[in-house]
């Protein structure tokens, strides 16, 4: 999850100088989707881990 978040921040940090607004919006939407998916997978993983440890 940390790696995904780091990659997303890298993309977002480097977007401002890009002139193509449509591309920037597409990348922002993609980043949001990836972060949501990563958060969901993290939650699922933690649930399995807690079940195994119980």
Q: Quote the pTM value.
A: 0.85
Q: What is the 3-state secondary structure (H, E, C) of the chain?
A: CHHHHHHHHHHHHHCCCCCCHHHHHHHHHHHHHHHHHHHHHHHHHHHHHHHHHC
pLDDT at 22: 98
Please check whether residue 11 is in contact with residue 27, taking contact to mean a CB–CB distance below 8 angstroms: yes
**Full domain range(s) for residue 9:** 2-53
Q: List, for residues 1-33, the tens digit of each pLDDT value.
A: 999 999 999 999 999 999 999 999 999 999 999
Domain count, the chain: 1
């Amino acid at each position: 999850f940390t790696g995904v978040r780091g990659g997303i921040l890298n993309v977002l940090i480097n977007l401002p100088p890009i002139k193509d607004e449509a591309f920037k919006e597409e990348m922002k939407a993609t980043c949001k989707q990836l972060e949501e998916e990563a958060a969901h997978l993290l939650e699922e993983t933690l649930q399995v881990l807690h079940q195994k440890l119980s």
